[in-house]
């Protein structure tokens, strides 16, 4: 199984890098795991709707360049479907059982995802209605992927 996270922007905070590194190391026993960073667009604080859309389109093209046709893609979106850790674990297990061994999670930039990326997704996932920094979301998602694998392995980590 191959699991990839595509995130917009470079991770800067050391504590986030350390946390992600720890869970990435733990995930090695379950899958090939990688994080792909695509550059974000430099944009002023105040943008028109058209300018915001253009930023998302440019970031979206960079994201789509890293997605292969065979990959099962989850986009992280506030309006996506909320899942429990157990539900995500079951989905991942079912995907791999039925031939989807390449799973990709996409975290957009501060303005969100382009329509093209959302359309490419096979599923949309939400971690709730909270607004979280997209860089922190990488750590949360990496931990949840690890947790899902531990659940599927029958470990007590989840308790």
In-domain check, residue 55: yes
Q: Domain with 82 in it: what CATH number?
A: 3.40.1280.10
In-domain check, residue 158: no
The whole domain housing 36 covers: 2-152
* Sequence-ordered list of residues with C-beta below 8 angstroms from that of 153, at least 6 positions apart, any chain: 30
In-domain check, residue 159: no
CA-wise closest residue to 107 among 41, 20, 35, 31: 35
Q: Is 148 exposed, middle or buried (0-12, 13-18, 19+ CB in 10 A)?
A: buried
Could you give the CA distance from residue 142 to residue 111 in angstroms, rounded to a whole number?
A: 21
Mind listing the pLDDT tens digit for each residue in 37-88?
A: 999 998 778 899 999 999 999 999 999 999 999 999 999 998 999 999 999 9
On whether 108 is known to bind a ligand per the annotation, the reply is yes
Q: Please give the model's pTM, rounded to 2 decimal places.
A: 0.95
36 confidence band (pLDDT: 50, 70, 90): very high
Residue 34: other Cβ atoms inside 10 A: 14
């Amino acid at each position: 199984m191959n699991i990839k996270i595509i995130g917009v922007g470079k991770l800067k905070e050391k504590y986030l890098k350390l946390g992600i590194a720890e869970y990435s190391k733990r995930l090695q026993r379950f899958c090939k795991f990688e994080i792909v960073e695509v550059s974000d667009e430099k944009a002023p604080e105040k943008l028109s709707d058209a300018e915001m859309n253009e930023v998302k389109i440019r970031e979206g093209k960079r994201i789509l360049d890293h997605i292969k046709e065979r990959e099962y893609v989850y986009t992280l979106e506030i309006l996506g479907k909320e899942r429990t850790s157990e539900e995500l674990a079951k989905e991942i297990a079912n995907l791999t059982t039925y031939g989807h061994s390449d799973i990709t999670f996409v975290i957009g930039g501060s303005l969100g995802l382009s329509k093209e990326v959302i359309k490419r997704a096979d599923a949309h996932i939400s971690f709730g209605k909270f607004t979280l920094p997209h860089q922190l979301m990488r750590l949360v998602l990496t931990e949840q992927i690890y947790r899902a694998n531990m659940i599927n392995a029958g470990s007590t980590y989840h308790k």
